[in-house]
Chains A and B, each alone.
Chain A
Amino acid sequence: MSFSWARVVGIVQKELRDYRRNRFVLATMGLLPLLFLIIPVVELLLISVPVTSSKFDARIGLLLMYMLIIPAIVPSVLAAYSVVGEREQGTLEPILTTPMGREEFLVGKALAALLPTLAVAYVIFGIFLGIVALFAHPDVASAVFERNHLLVQLLFTPLLAGWSIWVGIAISARSADVRAAQQLGTLASLPPLGIVALMSFNVITPTLGLALGLAGALLIVDVLGWRAVAAMFDAERLVTGSQN
């Protein structure tokens, strides 16, 4: 049987309904991004101009980094729950006995984590830009609205989320405990932020070419991540636990 987007939609719809009624997920998706909005906004409004150019760039870069922590951390929590959570609830076996293929299951789980993450991350970034435009010093605002900064934010938000999701699902598929999976997933979601940090701090000069090159590399890593997770998804081991 071929890959069915109808089944993927079934999984996504089910997950979104589940998130809506899950306090832990709502807190993760709501409060955590707010925290990463409040800190940089307060910092930005307190920047006294003029400051030396290198320090100024570093501070702006650091504050924009908070925005990219959202797509890194938020989906990792959801993705880490995706498989081991089903196991703990006892819902994995019924769903794996349907005609759905493992690729459909994994893509459904990934999209269910990606879509709300993108919505939350872009909305928070939009609010951040609005506050900066309205209340920040014009020099600060023009630094934030610099083309490269915007490009990094827009481009790397889905790519970082993609990395976090596949790492989170991979950890979830090998874990026996939700909390352990979520802690590991959060940690594992952070490494790609390193490169983005170097660009945000202007350690690596973020030219358009470099940003696109790195984004392309992260995209390849995301695709490879999906292939790896699909290959390591062993329904027999998941259903029987430690029997084999």
Chain B
Amino acid sequence: MTSELDSSQRRLSHDGAKPDAALLVEHLTKRFGERVAYEDVSFEVGHGEVFGFLGPNGAGKTTMVRTLGTLLAPTSGSATVAGIELHAENRQTIRSRISIMPESPGLYLRLTVAENLECFARLYRLADRQERIERALKAVNLTDRANDLCRSLSKGLRQRAALARALLSDPAVLFLDEPTSGLDPVASKEVHELITALRVRGVTIFLTTHRLEEAERLCDRVAILNTTMRLVGRPDELRSQLFTRSLEVRLRAELADPASVLAGVPGLEGWEAQPTSSYLLTVSDPDAVAPEVARALVRAGADICSITESHHSLEDVYLELVDQDVEATRR
């Protein structure tokens, strides 16, 4: 299956121009023996963008993060990470420009929060270690817990400590792999707020998740991966690519002859009756058609409760694509 790229990505892939992107991935493939982790994946992430990387379990999201983080060597394809070509000899340079927060916080539990950060500050050879540690702790509101042992922290606080560690080196690209996995709603909300704050600061974030509402809320653009790249774009673009636009009309009582009422409405492409005196109308331009529909219904003597544009969530997009993949596998 070929990758589905938006037009800007196709242009970058084909004209060979020097990319001015935080991440540029072209036809990247990773196999473990016979098993394909991901195949022929291409996308681009701009500076300061929050890019969501979605997919079901086993889709290859974490393997992609590990590849771009130079932990795994790709089988084929090429990539540029934080302006550096992804090659074994550039490994340390790339690592000095990025940070990865894996799904598990990976803190040394017998060390304090500050000691964990100090260790990583030394590994990044940061000159102003103490200042950086204080700044990172402040960014995640963890200053008052700096001297607590990590094992005494809740899951949410550990995630915040891991995020502080990832921010220590002021990375050009921050990879967050399932940052809210296993967190309760309150802790998830805190992490969301931190990501939003980073976004405001202009940090480029590559966020893998299978929490669709999270991606929809936080990301400028999303990519949906299921071993191969299925779609890349803004959430609203993906919705319009996959779903026709529609109006949902709810009346006090069912129409006696809906076909005759709706037949002459300009811009109406189709309709179907729904339960509880509702109708789903397929339209090309909801804003233009809604008044026409209202007029036709009033002429027919119907009592209108509401006319709303039917909204497909990112979850609908995701499920539609996964369904398509399941169907394709069956065939």
Which residues does A use to contact B, with CB under 8 Å? 1, 4, 6-7, 9-11, 13-14, 17-18, 21-22, 89-101, 235-236, 239-240, 243-244
Contact = CB atoms under 8 A, between A and B. Distances in A.
A54 to B, nearest CB: 50
B124 interface: yes
B100 interface: yes
Contacts of B110: 17-18, 21-22
27 contacts: A1-B96, A7-B125, A10-B120, A10-B123, A11-B123, A14-B111, A18-B108, A22-B110, A89-B109, A90-B102, A91-B106, A91-B108, A93-B71, A93-B100, A93-B102, A95-B120, A95-B123, A97-B69, A97-B70, A97-B71, A97-B99, A97-B100, A98-B120, A99-B93, A100-B123, A101-B92, A244-B33
A10 B119 contact: yes
A243 B35 CA distance: 9
Contacts, number: 97
A18 B72 contact: no
Contact of A18 (B71, B100, B111, B125): B111
Given A94-B165, A99-B125, A13 B119 contact: yes
Given A1-B92, A1-B93, A101-B92, A96 B106 contact: no
A6 B104 contact: no
Given A1-B92, A90-B106, A91-B108, 7 more contacts: A11-B119, A21-B149, A93-B71, A94-B165, A98-B123, A99-B92, A99-B95
Interface string B89-122: 0001101101111101111111100010011111
Q: Looking at chain B's contact residues, is the secondary structure mostly helix, strand, loop, or mixed?
A: mixed
What 5 A-B pairs are tightest by C-beta distance, nearest first?
A10-B122, A90-B104, A94-B106, A98-B123, A14-B119
A239 B125 contact: no
B322 to A, nearest CB: 23
B113 to A, nearest CB: 13
A6 B105 contact: no
Most buried by B among A14, A90, A98, A100: A98
B131 to A, nearest CB: 17
B2 to A, nearest CB: 26
A71 to B, nearest CB: 25
A235 B125 CA distance: 21
Nearest to B112: A17
Q: Looking at chain A's contact residues, is the secondary structure mostly helix, strand, loop, or mixed?
A: helix
Nearest to A2: B92
A17 B102 contact: no
B95 A244 contact: no
Contacts of B73: 236
Given A89-B108, A91-B106, A99 B124 contact: yes
A37 B265 CA distance: 98
Given A89-B108, A244-B33, A94 B125 contact: no
Given A9-B122, A94-B100, A99-B95, A235 B35 contact: no
A97 B177 CA distance: 13
A72 to B, nearest CB: 26
A101 B70 CA distance: 12
B66 interface: yes
Contacts of A95: 106, 120, 123
Contacts of B33: 244
A191 B244 CA distance: 74
A41 B32 CA distance: 57
Contacts of A236: 71-73
Given A97-B69, A236-B71, A6 B102 contact: no
B130 to A, nearest CB: 14
A101 B99 CA distance: 16
B32 A7 contact: no
A93 B106 contact: yes
B36 to A, nearest CB: 12
Contacts of B118: 10, 13
A239 to B, nearest CB: 5
Contacts of A99: 92-93, 95-96, 123-125
A239 B122 contact: no
Interface string B73-99: 100000000000000000011011011
A17 B107 CA distance: 14
A236 B30 CA distance: 12
A6 B72 CA distance: 26
B108 A7 contact: no
Contacts of A21: 110-111, 149
Most buried by A among B35, B100, B119: B119
A82 to B, nearest CB: 13
Nearest to B31: A244
A21 B101 CA distance: 25
Given A14-B108, A89-B106, A94-B106, A6 B125 contact: yes
Contact of A240 (B32, B70, B98, B125): B32
A12 to B, nearest CB: 10
A14 B95 contact: no
B164 to A, nearest CB: 12
A208 to B, nearest CB: 42
Nearest to B116: A14
Nearest to A8: B122
Nearest to A25: B110
